[in-house]
Structure 1
């Protein structure tokens, strides 16, 4: 079952001009361009502090974009970013958005031991809560790096007080993915819900339909159709995500990267902001905690 009653009643375009009445989850993974996992072989982690940071200005633009449409979203924020830009965290909270965790150092959960993972997610949670003055309930693993080989991560998340995760992408991908995982929100541990990003089910296979590089590569109308179809056929809230660096075509280019990485990172990057604005206009959006965390006393999601 869904964690909310707001996902019922999908329909055609409404009097507001929006395509369905279903509220979908808008989420932003707050990291800078040089922290992208695909750049790890080319950028030493020790060089991060010497790189030009652009995340603060990009998040500010995103906040203005959301305000223009009256949309509240969830910001999965790196502890590394929060430590250096505490005002960014305070601005997210002050403008009514959900503050959530992306871990501290943008290390894949699949690359960490349980103890190292615990420190990473706990350090991030405590710092974000201290700066934001709110409970941090949600976590998203860098590169959706919870999979079949590290399901212990759910135990650690629950132990550290997180209430939901959005860390599994139920697709087949060369960097991540667990295609046999449930496509909808479900309880993975007592008190911990996994909310996978949205996929399109077609002929027995899951296809990405919720942001990232595919959103930039495919024509905008394809994403709009996939989300509308998900709302209408499944009757549930979709989960969409993007990164601040995806609206920044002037970001410094990383030299020496391979052609595949270059294409994935930079394809149509100059069009993303306008596409996000259109997406905000075409659908109803809300914070992830509002859509997927059951109210106090409500029935828990079925495992």
Structure 2
């Protein structure tokens, strides 16, 4: 009897930022106030590390340099638990808001700090709010020059804040360079890409719909999926922000209390590993 082939291995990722650092709060919370606000990222990341340990999952953590400088022991705990350390830029400034030189300095500075802190190579980068697209593809060349091997910064969807729907849905090498761009997962329905790789969509959709979409990526497309979430998404007790619009309030706070249990189901229902093992060294993921 032929053995049943394993479904593709998927990449689990965490964008390590605190609740007050999200792009949606930029006009409400000054960067100059960040140090004075209650910080919750360390406790939330420790909960995630325990969740992953309970389910036997290794993941990629995209750390802000701002977080790593203040919580170096947290970075090392993440590394010691077997997870990949990658870069989320220094302080969650969107690439669309940076000049080429500012972007170069940002990604170079962050990578150096993370490598010094973790004592391990940093190969991956994810732009704040998926802010690399058709108008700033130069950023991918600068990432390669800075020593990164892959990026996960282009989201092939229509969105009011980001997106490049015409981009490939699966890993590709843009231009003539060696850098691998690894988009967050989408599912095609009636000729349009719909997000299914995490974030607010995972909290909004019924879990069964998210599971169906990811299985379609694995079984119909025959591809590995990429999933992401943030530490603040498992924290329903985080400080609530006043003066924000309804759309922002719904996006940020919807179903925070259900997120951790949904993640537990997701970790059980699919096969997961780190970005580098899934996409750069796929054979090692099966050892």
TM-score range, shorter chain: over 0.9
Q: TM-score, normalized by length of structure 1? A: 0.90
The alignment status of 1:109 with 2:95, answered yes or no, reads: yes
Cross-structure match for 1:15: none
Alignment deviations for residues 217-274 of structure 1 (CA, whole Å, 9 cap, x no partner): 1111110010011100011100000000000000000111111100100001110000
3-state SS, counterpart of residue 100 of structure 1: strand
**Looking at both structures, which has the greater relative contact order when contacts are Cα pairs under 8 Å and sequence separation is at least 6?**
1
The alignment status of 1:230 with 2:231, answered yes or no, reads: no
Cross-structure match for 1:203: 190
Distance 2:70 2:76 in 1: 12
Alignment deviations for residues 47-71 of structure 1 (CA, whole Å, 9 cap, x no partner): 1011111000000000000000110
Distance 1:148 1:254 in 2: 33
Cross-structure match for 1:168: 154
Q: TM-score, normalized by length of structure 2? A: 0.95
Cross-structure match for 1:68: 54
Cross-structure match for 1:221: 208
Within 5 Å, give how 1:37-186 maps onto structure 2: 37-186=23-172
Unaligned runs of 5+ in 1: 1-8, 12-19, 297-303
Unaligned runs of 5+ in 2: none
Root-mean-square deviation (Å): 1.4
Cross-structure match for 2:259: 272
Alignment deviations for residues 146-196 of structure 1 (CA, whole Å, 9 cap, x no partner): 011111101110100000000000000000000000001011252200000
3-state SS, counterpart of residue 148 of structure 1: coil
Aligned length: 280
Distance 1:141 1:43 in 2: 20
Distance 2:74 2:281 in 1: 28
Q: CA deviation at 1:10?
A: 8.9
Distance 1:60 1:131 in 2: 17
Distance 2:259 2:251 in 1: 13
3-state SS, counterpart of residue 193 of structure 2: strand
3-state SS, counterpart of residue 275 of structure 1: helix
3-state SS, counterpart of residue 114 of structure 2: helix
**Is the Cα contact below 8 Å between 2:151 and 2:181 reproduced in 1?**
yes
Q: Structure 2 residue aligned with 1:212, among 192, 199, 215? A: 199
3-state SS, counterpart of residue 276 of structure 1: helix
Cross-structure match for 1:242: 229
Displaced runs of 4 or more, over 2 A: none
Distance 1:190 1:295 in 2: 20
Structure 1 residues 215 and 295, CA gap change in structure 2 (3 angstroms): closer
**Is the Cα contact below 8 Å between 2:141 and 2:177 reproduced in 1?**
no
Cross-structure match for 1:256: 243
**Is the Cα contact below 8 Å between 1:10 and 1:231 reproduced in 2?**
no
